[in-house]
Amino acid sequence: MGKRDDKRLKKVINLEFIIFSLVAIAVTMVLSTFIFYEVYKAEIIRDLKGYAEVFKNTGDFDADDTGVYASVDTNDLRLTLIAPDGSVLYDNQADETSMQNHLDRPEIAEAFENGDGQVIRKSETLNKSTYYYAILLKSGRVLRIARETNNVISMFLAAVPVMLVVMAILVCVTIIVTHYLTRNILKPIEQMANSLDDDTHIVAYKEMRPFIDMIQKQHADIVKSSQMRQEFTANVSHELKTPLTSISGYSELIETGMATEADVHHFATEIHKNSNRLLTLINDIIRLSELDVSEDAPLMEKIDLAVIARTATDMLAINAEKNSVTLSYDGSHGYIYANKMMMEELVYNLTDNAIRYNNKNGSVDVSVKAEDGKVILRVKDTGIGIPKEHQERIFERFYRVDKSRSKSTGGTGLGLAIVKHIVARNNAQLDMDSEPGKGTDIKVTFDAYREDEQ
């Protein structure tokens, strides 16, 4: 991560934190205003109810003397006394004689019916709300107490300046905190970017450890893959260069006339042998590349591994005879769900490899056996064997235990690498038992075919 990218990332994170904080602060303040207003409403109604209970208990409004009504300390409250027929007997802020019948008012009707009633009426033009509470007196009259106050909109508008100041302070705090948090969040990532191969200097909080471990694992895989590609490219170049050099050298001797008539036949034989080796090598490289690149699932079908093994041994019988190796097949039907072409390659490569690296008058035994829901392909030889230290690497590309012998037998060093890929692509298991001087025994185990696999 470059310094410019690092600054840009920090800027983006800071900006997103600030925007999120602003939205959160604004939403919180708006919600707080509405919650406060609801609490405020409940408090006003409680106060009005308290006043009403006091006035009811004094009995002042049960009398018929309006002078008594006027002497009551109203504390900026509006008091209205309503007779049982709905007519207004007294109002401390209006002329009761000109007032309409109040029997249809909700709080009055509720008070006559239930003993008390309440309602809030809003004035859209004045941004005001009037809170009414009515209580039924002992005399059968209803006393209504009212108080006018600001509604939620006016309260919110009144609080806007204070809210803006608070928001400005919170934004400043958010910028400082965000800068600190961003720096701490990105610090392990910056350290990791500078030292992916060594995590001893990465100081990360535990929540980031799985992320860092995953990145480092991916980095290690990429490095390993890159090294393998470089090694593969170098090996391919070397392997191709050897037969091409031989072909070029022999053909040049023939072209310049430096070769005798007896040499021409020998040189032609060598050119033919190296050409075949070159074709085999190229075909193996192409096939391995196809297995590497292809992500599509291979075409799977029900196949009899015994038929494929029998066909492969028949094809390689002449080759075995040329190498003075006895090739035999023994087995019974073994049905598996796999890719037919890959199975042909698998058996052919294992058998061909066993013939190439065998001793004179040695033997190769190929067998297929079905048991306990498994089908086992076995290729056993009496060849040179593989030392213990080489057995883990024998399936690597171009890896050879005995390089001189491999080239003399025409091996490309890719056969077992192809085998490894095919085993993996067909969900099989490969086991090898080998000892120098005694031979090699390779077993490939497949799940037996089931009707529900289609």
Q: What are the DSSP calls for 66-121, one per residue?
A: HHHHHHS--TT-EEEEE-TTS-EEEETTS-GGGPPP-TTSHHHHHHHHHSEEEEEE
**Cα angle 272-383-278, degrees, rounded to a multiple of 5:** 20
On whether the CB atoms of residues 17 and 132 are closer than 8 A, the answer is: no
Please indicate, yes or no, whether residues 9 and 148 belong to a single structural domain of this protein: yes
User: How large a percentage of the chain has pLDDT more than 90?
Assistant: 24
Kindly indicate the confidence band of residue 407, based on its pLDDT and cuts at 50, 70 and 90: low
Strand partners, 123: 128
Residue 167 belongs to some domain of the structure: no
Q: Which residues contact 128 (CB under 8 A, 6 or more apart)?
A: 122, 148, 149, 150, 151, 154
Pull the structure tokens for residue 98: 């000109």
> Is residue 29 a contact partner of residue 166, using CB atoms and an 8 Å limit?
yes
Q: What is the mean pLDDT of residues 339-368?
A: 90
Instruction: Flag whether 166 is in a domain.
Output: no
Whether 257 maps to a domain, the answer reads: yes
Q: Which domain holds residue 43?
A: 3-155
Q: Are residues 66 and 140 in the same domain?
A: yes
Residue 14: pLDDT over 70: yes
Please report where in the chains the tokens 């041994």 appear, as a residue. 313
Backbone angles phi, psi at 269, to 5 degrees: -65, -45
- The H or E element that residue 367 is part of is strand 362-371
Angle ∠(444,279,343) on CA atoms, nearest 5: 20
Q: Note the pLDDT of residue 206.
A: 67
Taking the C-alpha atoms of residue 141 and residue 137, their distance in angstroms, rounded to an integer, is 5
Residues 263 and 389 reside in one and the same domain: no
- Same domain, yes or no, for 329 and 394? yes
When divided into structural domains, the chain yields a total of: 3
pLDDT at 111: 92
pLDDT at 422 over 50: yes
Answer yes or no: is pLDDT of 41 > 70.
Answer: yes
Task: Burial-class residue 125 by CB neighbours within 10 Å (0-12, 13-18, 19+).
Answer: exposed
pLDDT band at 202, cuts 50/70/90?
A: low
How far apart, in Å, are the Cα atoms of 295 and each of 16, 84, 227, 291, 292? 39, 90, 22, 8, 8
Domain of 406, CATH number, reads 3.30.565.10
Other CB atoms within 10 Å distance of the CB of residue 202: 20
Output the pLDDT for position 298: 67
Confidence category of residue 125, pLDDT binned at 50, 70, 90: very low
Both tokens of 141, joined, read: 């009259």
What CATH number is given to the structural domain containing 71? 3.30.450.20
User: Dihedrals φ, ψ of 65, to 5°?
Assistant: -90, 110
**Res 165 pLDDT > 70:** yes
Q: Tell me the pLDDT band of 421, cut-offs 50, 70 and 90.
A: confident
On whether both 346 and 416 belong to a single domain, the answer is yes
The larger pLDDT score, comparing residue 310 to residue 392, is at: 310
Q: Clarify whether residues 305 and 287 are in a common domain.
A: no
**Cβ contacts of 227-236, under 8 Å, gap ≥ 24:** 228/397, 232/397, 232/398, 235/397, 235/398, 235/413, 236/285, 236/398
Q: 3-class SS at 15?
A: helix
Asked which of 261, 293, 325 is the last residue of a domain, the reply is 293
pLDDT of residue 135: 94
Q: Residues 263, 347: one domain? A: no
Specify the higher pLDDT residue, 302 or 288: 302
Instruction: Indicate the range of 50-54, 162-166, 208-212 predicted with least confidence.
Output: 208-212
What would the DSSP string read from start to end of 125-183? TTTEEEEEEEEE-TTS-EEEEEEEEE-HHHHHHHHHHHHHHHHHHHHHHHHHHHHHHHH
Same domain, 437 and 368: yes
- Is residue 38 in some structural domain? yes
C-beta of residue 339 within 8 angstroms of C-beta of residue 299: yes
* % pLDDT > 70, the chain: 78
Which of 155, 171, 189 is at the close of a domain? Answer: 155
Determine the average pLDDT of the residues in 188-205. 61
**Could you give the 3-state DSSP secondary structure of residue 243?**
helix
Domain CATH number, residue 281: 1.10.287.130
The reported pTM is: 0.48
Task: Say yes or no: 221 and 329 in one domain.
Answer: no
**What's the whole-number average pLDDT of the chain?**
80
Do 284 and 424 belong to one domain?
no
Span 199-204, average pLDDT: 56
Q: Among residues 155, 177, 193, which one ends one of the domains?
A: 155
* CB-CB contact of 368 with 376 (8 Å): yes
Q: In terms of domains, do 387 and 428 share one? A: yes
**Residue range 280-296: mean pLDDT, rounded:** 65
For the residues 112-128, what does the mean pLDDT come to? 78
Residue 196 included in any domain: no
Predicted local distance difference test score (pLDDT) of residue 390: 81
The 10 Å CB-count burial string (b at 16+, else e) for 234-270 is ebbeebeeebeebbeebeeeeeeeebeeeeeeebeeb
Mean pLDDT of 108-123: 88
Look at residue 369 and give its three-state secondary structure: strand
Domain match, 288 and 342 both: no
pLDDT, mean of residues 419-424 = 84
The answer on pLDDT for 5 being more than 70 is no
The pLDDT value given to residue 303? 92
Q: What is the pLDDT of residue 312?
A: 92
Establish if 372 belongs to a structural domain: yes
Give the angle 54-60-62 at the CA atoms, nearest 5°.
110
Q: Tell me, yes or no, whether 431 lies in a domain.
A: yes
Q: Which of 29-38, 363-372, 433-442 is predicted with the least confidence, judged by mean pLDDT?
A: 29-38
* pLDDT tens string 365-397: 999 999 888 999 999 999 888 888 887 777 776
Please report whether residue 256 resides in a domain.
yes
Judged by DSSP in three states, 383 sits in coil
- Residue 439, sorted as left (phi over 0), alpha (psi -120 to 50) or beta, turns out to be left
